[in-house]
Chains A and B, each alone.
Chain A
Amino acid sequence: MVLDFIKQRRTIRKYKKGLIPPEEALEEILSAVRLIYAQYPIPFKLYILSGRSRLELIPLMRQHYSIFRDLAFIGKAVPEEARSMVEKVMVEFMKDLGGAPITLIGLTKLYGCKEEKCPAWAIRNWKVSWMIAQAIMLYAKKIGLDTGSFTCLSKMIEEKILEFLGERDLNIAFALNLGYGDENPIPKDVEWKVVEI
């Protein structure tokens, strides 16, 4: 059963409008964050944005998307044949960030990661942040909620979002939507890349 929700967890880009997760669901998710944080204390702060705060985030993310799209297309990160599909999906998503009722933003200290040699402490903060993100995504799935990361942030947009949040000393590690999914993503084909010795 646990394996089922691990397998079923997918990035969701479209959420049921107006369906707000109950308070207990958020508590359950925060308990997952606490469990990881207990093992790996790092500078970390979690923003839970809903209602007006979340609406104010949308225009900032739209700017991010246009920069991301340009970089991804120029850098050929998105194959030529997939570009119109990616464009369509992302334009739709960016209208209201998929309509999710809640957005979670995880902050940590990452200064230096854009440098040539990323300091070990920054790598550690990055890794722990993503362990927290994965725990959030799994716990959410377990209680019938869906999530989707839209983390790929340019430096410029990151600064704007941090200003919006009133943060000066931390960086964005992840941004996740949380809500009830309104789409059925295609199952993922996975390759068995496990070796026993």
Chain B
Amino acid sequence: MLNFSEKFLDVPVEDGKLKILEESTLYAPYPLTSPQPWMVVVVKSPERVRELVKFHRIKSPVIFLFFVDRGVETVCMRSLASGCAQAVNLAVQASALNLACFIDIDPPKDFVDKAFEIAKISKTEYDLSAVGFVGYPAKEEREVFFEVDRRG
């Protein structure tokens, strides 16, 4: 159900699929006490994409930028979580459409600066919580283990 990839084909994502991906990002949890604390900017024009990927090792035909309201400190942490949850929605939905996704939650500073610049979003009001690179994939798989303690 989740298809992560770091390499994408140079093939555009169809507008119909893009709309579904966009809609999927609207349904992430967010703090009870605030309105949806985010703004999603979808970079799809080839020139804009080229400008952005100059600052990142991942190259994809579409890039989702998940900006979240800085708000007050405690809400801010929760907003960051909302932005990452949106990115997971994107990854799950992309996989269902035979696309793949790479989520970067800690992109390079130059990339972040460029993202704010082309999105025309204020750094004083928003944080860039996550970035979703989307496209048709070249896939790789890995096995992982983590600790689970089950009681009861």
- Where the two chains meet, the residues of A that have a C-beta atom closer than 8 Å to any C-beta of B are 1-3, 6-7, 9, 11, 30, 32-41, 44-54, 72, 77-78, 113, 118, 120, 123-124, 126-131, 133-135, 137-139, 142, 149, 165, 188, 190-197
Question: Beta-carbon contacts of B114-152 to A below 8 Å, as 1s and 0s?
Answer: 000011000000000110000000000011111111111
- Where the two chains meet, the residues of B that have a C-beta atom closer than 8 Å to any C-beta of A are 1-2, 4, 18, 20, 22-29, 32-33, 35-36, 38-45, 48, 77, 80-85, 87-89, 92-93, 96, 103, 105-106, 118-119, 129-130, 142-152
When C-beta atoms are compared, the residue in chain A nearest to B28 turns out to be A134
Q: Are B105 and A124 in contact (CB under 8 A)?
A: yes
| Cα distance A36–B103 in the bound complex, in angstroms | 10
Q: Number of A-B pairs whose CB atoms are under 8 Å?
A: 160
| Cα distance A135–B106 in the bound complex, in angstroms | 19
Partner of B96, one of A2, A38, A77, A126: A2
Q: What 4 A-B pairs have minimum CB-CB distances, sorted nearest first?
A: A51-B152, A130-B81, A134-B85, A2-B96
Besides A3-B23, A30-B148, 8 more A-B contacts (Cβ < 8 Å) are: A48-B151, A53-B152, A129-B81, A133-B81, A137-B29, A138-B92, A192-B26, A194-B42
Question: For residue A7, which residues in chain B have a CB less than 8 angstroms away from its CB?
Answer: 27
Question: For residue B29, which residues in chain A have a CB less than 8 angstroms away from its CB?
Answer: 11, 134, 137, 149
Question: For residue B18, which residues in chain A have a CB less than 8 angstroms away from its CB?
Answer: 196
| Cα distance A129–B28 in the bound complex, in angstroms | 15
Query: Contacts A38-B142, A53-B151, A131-B103 given: A138-B42 contact, CB under 8 Å?
Result: no
Main SS of chain B's interface residues?
A: mixed
| Cα distance A1–B24 in the bound complex, in angstroms | 11
| Cα distance A192–B83 in the bound complex, in angstroms | 15
Question: For residue B146, which residues in chain A have a CB less than 8 angstroms away from its CB?
Answer: 33-34, 37, 44-46
Shortest Cβ distance from residue B104 to the other chain A in the assembled complex, whole angstroms: 10
Q: Can you name 19 A-B pairs with beta carbons within 8 Å?
A: A2-B24, A11-B29, A45-B147, A46-B147, A48-B148, A53-B151, A72-B33, A77-B32, A123-B77, A127-B80, A130-B82, A131-B85, A134-B88, A137-B29, A191-B26, A194-B25, A195-B42, A197-B43, A197-B119
Which of B28, B82, B149 gathers most chain A CB within 10 Å?
A: B149
Q: Are B28 and A197 in contact (CB under 8 A)?
A: no
Shortest Cβ distance from residue A75 to the other chain B in the assembled complex, whole angstroms: 9
Question: For residue A195, which residues in chain B have a CB less than 8 angstroms away from its CB?
Answer: 39-42, 119
Shortest Cβ distance from residue B28 to the other chain A in the assembled complex, whole angstroms: 7
Query: Contacts A128-B105, A197-B43, A197-B119 given: A138-B22 contact, CB under 8 Å?
Result: no
Query: Contacts A37-B144, A197-B119 given: A190-B105 contact, CB under 8 Å?
Result: no
Shortest Cβ distance from residue B6 to the other chain A in the assembled complex, whole angstroms: 10
Q: Are A40 and B105 in contact (CB under 8 A)?
A: yes
Question: For residue B40, which residues in chain A have a CB less than 8 angstroms away from its CB?
Answer: 193-195
Q: Are A197 and B151 in contact (CB under 8 A)?
A: no
When C-beta atoms are compared, the residue in chain B nearest to A135 turns out to be B88
